[in-house]
Amino acid sequence: MGGGGPKPEHLLVILPFDAPTAIFDRIRRNHPHIKITFRQLHFTDTPWKARSQVPSEIFHDATLLLTLSALPPSPKDCPKLELIHCTSAGTDHLANSPIYTDTTIPLTSSSGIHGPQIAEWILMTMLTSSHHYNILHQWQTSHSWGNADKRGLGLLRNFHDKVGQRLGVLGYGSIGRQVANVAKAMGMDIIAYTARPRPTPESKHDNNFIVPGTGDPKGDIPTAWYSGTSKAKLHEFLAQDIDHLLISIPLTGKTTHLLAEEEFEILSKRNAFISNISRGAIISQPALIAALKAYDRHHTSSSSLHHTDDDNNSNNDSFAIGLETDMKTDTSIPGLRGAALDVTDPEPLPKDDALWDAPNCIITPHISGLGSAYVDRCFQVLEVNLERRERGEGLINLVDRGRG
């Protein structure tokens, strides 16, 4: 007689956090055949290399690995390993590991878990800028009703809401879909760009992990889809009167400095506001600084506030933040009206880097994805795949090592 039930498994969990015991209890309840071993490993400069806290021997019996960055030193150290789940959405930090380059062990990401919190960061910085919040905060801290601040009042009167503005989503994954979901509710028009064509309704579906009640599962929100990997295709997308560009694509050799002087020149048609939550190196930072300065110079030298273009501003040196109003009418104005960056190149950004002082630029230290639900959602992706493996189904969030 054959024994029933799934085969015994050994899940090794290596994280820079304390052990999530409640989650481990849930996994043991639902998958009693899985043994769990936990090791805490803090962030390292060479992330995929195991340190003394995680000796190579610990990988030998593991069949499953959940990790932020620590991987076995070499394939011979993990002869039983059948699945690696990474707790980040991107896996570029693992791409030089021998496990990544020299094995075919399935690798899954936590793509899909970040949509809600990152979408809120994007909308927060977008609205902080367009509503000139720094002016309002200055009034409050100075106990002023603002009546005497004619310049500030002028900026606020020139504000235009998001209704009718166009959001271009460069990389229509889980984050882009949730931003589109919220932006549509605000009255924005959404257009999407993907590397691969999505010609059929089924091809527009999101088949990866989705936080319930969020995103755009069927891909119904965009009014237009664009695709391709060439400069010409990208430029066609960027030329579609975009008021706000969201960058939400992985960093690869092909996407490094994908947006530079030529692309910012196209976006200057609407003096677009840029949000980057992907990786800093996707943008040429010197080109971005130049585009922001070009826009800022126009307003610095002008004493009038006739322009109507809103979506940016966080000048680090003054509360003038936001000499724009979202709906452009003067096509002679050069540059980009602002940017919100949760990622830079390098990280941490050196104290003397010129990006800190770029006009109308909000910078945060790669924190948009943080939140109290982060760890639990990472494990939810793994748990979905545990169920799928037991049923003999394909994995979700499977990383395609060949792309890029």
For residue 268, list its beta bridge partners: none
Q: Is the pLDDT of residue 63 over 50?
A: yes
**Residue 3: pLDDT over 90:** no
* Nearest Cα to Cα of residue 180 among 271, 118, 227: 118
CA atoms of 207 and 204, how far apart (whole Å) = 9
Q: What is the pLDDT of residues 306-317, one digit of tens each?
A: 444 443 333 333
Structure confidence at residue 298 (pLDDT): 85
Report the C-alpha gap between 115 and 118 in whole angstroms: 5
Q: What is the pLDDT of residue 305?
A: 42
Residue 189: which H helix or E strand, with range?
Answer: strand 189-194
Listed in order, strand segments (DSSP E) in 289-349 are 338-341
Which tokens hold the place of 57?
Answer: 């021997």
For residue 199, what is the DSSP state? -
Say yes or no to pLDDT of 286 above 70: yes
What is the model's pTM?
0.83
Sign of the CA dihedral 336, 241, 369, 320? positive
Q: Does pLDDT of 328 surpass 60?
A: no
